[in-house]
Amino acid sequence: MYEHIRTIVPEERLLFHEPMSRHTTFRVGGEAECMAVVETKEELSQLVSYLGRIEQDYFVLGNGSNLLVGDKGYRGIILKLGPRLSAVGVEKNHIAAGAGVLLSKVASVARDAGLSGLEFAAGIPGSMGGAIVMNAGAYGGEMKQVVQMVRVMDKEGEILTLDNDTMEFGYRTSIIRDRPFIVLGVVLKLTPGNKEEISARMEELMKQRKSKQPLEYPSAGSTFKRPEGYYAGKLIMDAGLRGYRIGGAQVSEKHCGFVINAGGATAADIREVIEEVQERVKDRFHVRLEPEVIFLGDF
């Protein structure tokens, strides 16, 4: 298998036994058996179709901001999108962005171009690809509001174009959550606006984030989806779990909706805290909290 992969991706872009703690915002995780840094659609197409044919597990990695990799690592192939799949361009009121670029960078490009509609995304730490998959949102904004079209690759390596309606955007979900599609890029349709006003709004939202969220600790952002009719953080707080800790993993005292790596946490610590929070909230309030975090590999 690796001999064939080397014919697609140069040796210098193949990382073996790569610690996933270097690639996730939780800063935990064991080794990936192999990480291939993919720079072109052609490379990605060849890899995806080949790995599919041999039934080899793989995972497409963005910024690792919504991901918990087990301490025993991941035995499949990690496909990490490189800089050439992370370009950003502006044309009139449209922005074309590759899946690998940080969402916060695209928000900054929009601001500098005097385009409004992406202010909510300024502090979201994920990549554009991840933001599309989960319809990322904050402070009343979400990707659904600004996406015009998405280019994806299917499991055969073919490229498809999906419009906004076809994406089936919902709360922290899209059609891609249930289909074997890889996001390649997106075209956003924004609204011309005043640069100073856009910048001021972004600064205002960043101040809110810093005052209310534990940004000083490694985490995956909001750990749980908002259950209908409730707020996850309040349920967790009312269940008496503020500051609850196992090893180095802790329910944030600043915002109970965040499970943080308070220092020296393992992936198992974090997963145990998440599961304990789910169990106690369900016992107390009969509400099931669904994690936003993706669990990958062996714990």
How far are the Cα atoms of 59, 138, 145, 243 from residue 118, in angstroms, in the given order?
A: 28, 10, 9, 33
Query: In the annotation, is 33 catalytic?
Result: no
Strand partners, 98: 185
The residue among 33, 22, 24, 18 whose CA lies nearest residue 74 is 33
Q: Among residues 111, 172, 201, 271, which one is catalytic?
A: 172
Query: In the annotation, is 172 catalytic?
Result: yes
Q: Among residues 21, 174, 222, 252, which one is catalytic?
A: 222
Handedness of CA 144, 101, 205, 193 (dihedral sign): negative
The residue among 57, 72, 88, 60 whose CA lies nearest residue 17 is 72
Query: In the annotation, is 292 catalytic?
Result: yes
Alpha carbon distance 2, 41 (integer Å): 19
Q: How far is CA 194 from the centre of its chain?
A: 29
Report the phi/psi class of residue 168: left, alpha or beta, with left for phi > 0 and alpha for psi in -120 to 50: left
Alpha carbon distance 86, 162 (integer Å): 19
Catalytic residue numbers, as ranges: 172, 222, 292
